[in-house]
Structure 1
Amino acid sequence: MVATPFPRLGAPRPAPVLTTGRLRLRAMELGDWPTYRDALTSDHAHYIGGPFGLNAAWGMFCADMKGWEITGAGALSVETQDGTLVGQITLNDIPAFPELELGWLTYQGHEGKGYAAEAAATVLHWVRTEIAPASLVSYVSPDNPASSAIARKIGGTSDSDAPSPAGCDLVFRHIGGTN
């Protein structure tokens, strides 16, 4: 598949609020910054190109938070029903990515509890029913088997012919191509 033109969604939209039995997915808020900063400036971010410097992490935070107003895609903070921030799910529509991308990051101390898969499946369902894009993929570091397992668990299929931003990421297709 060839890279799709940017922006892919074409219109701003408000960030959705989505819930599951255990989780609430909501627009990122400034109060999320300390947890986000700690994750992105630590070795915990190595699967997504980190650790990042403070200014780079801040720029990513701003882009994740305000993307909904610019391209109609952005990040959602993932919190448990008691309000504990456990990660984020991002619908990425950025120029550096060849296709619209669904990504996830579980914050330290919250891995292995199924939060990322549950949140990603919820966003994937929302994307399919509310946006219906021509394509949607997840870019995963080949050194991250846990993230590959999440991509497969939510129905992603490996697409070795798809371009990736780093040229070495695994690409899991959720919409488009042969799906």
Structure 2
Amino acid sequence: MTRAPAITTARLRLRGHVLSDMDAFEAFHATSRAAFVGRPENRTHLWYGFASEVGSWDLMGHGGWAIEDRDGQLIGQVAITRPPHFPETEIGWTLLDHAEGRGYAFEAASAALTWAWDNEFETLVSYIHPENARSIALAERLGAAHDPNAALPDGETADETLVYRHSPDTDGSPEAYA
């Protein structure tokens, strides 16, 4: 079984999910903060999504990481995934309420991008709702650029999804400074 590799940053630890993480994400999806992410219809659908983040490591060699703070408290998720309805591999992030506004999403996403570039991904995208100003700002801070010509996930329109493209040259890869 392939597991998510543990990644440690200055303040965070990215690790594979454990079953108890699902409760925190169920609580998150019950709040208005989940307005811009695919909200599961019920606990069974949450399970399908959660299990796909874990199982993607075995099937595709990438997937979701739980984000923990230095005290070991779950604070969110960062994931590199490509479900069947995505035309490209995406990097996405979610922070739980208590972790917002501390730079954790940037730190976790930067670590995941470094992992992706070290594992020979050539590009990643972030699919973001046009009204999700915080995720747009984070994608831009990470060096991503809006790509209006990129294909959208099946069934989505430009009115509901923007595509931000991440590339190693702009996301802090050592090649950017050569």
| TM tier relative to shorter chain | 0.7 to 0.9
Q: Which residue of 1 aligns with 2:145?
A: 157
What amino acid sits opposite 1:167 in the alignment?
T
Q: Which residue of 1 aligns with 2:162?
A: 170
Higher mean C-alpha deviation, range 133-142 or range 18-27: 133-142
In the TM superposition, what is the alpha-carbon distance from 1:51 to its structure 2 partner? Answer: 5.6
Residues 59-138 of structure 1 correspond to what in structure 2 (within 5 A)? 59-129=48-118, 131-138=119-126
Residues 12-91 of structure 1 correspond to what in structure 2 (within 5 A)? 13-50=2-39, 52-91=41-80
What amino acid sits opposite 1:173 in the alignment?
R
SS in 2 for 1:30: coil
Gaps spanning 5+ residues in structure 1: where?
1-11
In the TM superposition, what is the alpha-carbon distance from 1:49 to its structure 2 partner? Answer: 2.7
Report % sequence identity.
36
CA distance in 1, matches of 2:42, 2:28: 11
SS in 2 for 1:132: coil
TM-score computed with the length of structure 1 as normaliser: 0.86
Task: Say if 1:74 and 1:91, in contact at 8 Å, map to a contact too.
Answer: yes
Residues 1:146 and 2:134 aligned together = yes
In the TM superposition, what is the alpha-carbon distance from 1:14 to its structure 2 partner? Answer: 3.2
CA distance in 2, matches of 1:40, 1:72: 26
CA distance in 2, matches of 1:127, 1:112: 25
SS in 1 for 2:139: helix
In the TM superposition, what is the alpha-carbon distance from 1:54 to its structure 2 partner? Answer: 1.6
What RMSD, in angstroms, separates the aligned Cα atoms of the two structures?
1.9
Gaps spanning 5+ residues in structure 2: where?
172-178
CA distance in 2, matches of 1:36, 1:51: 10
What amino acid sits opposite 2:131 in the alignment?
D
Aligned residues: 166
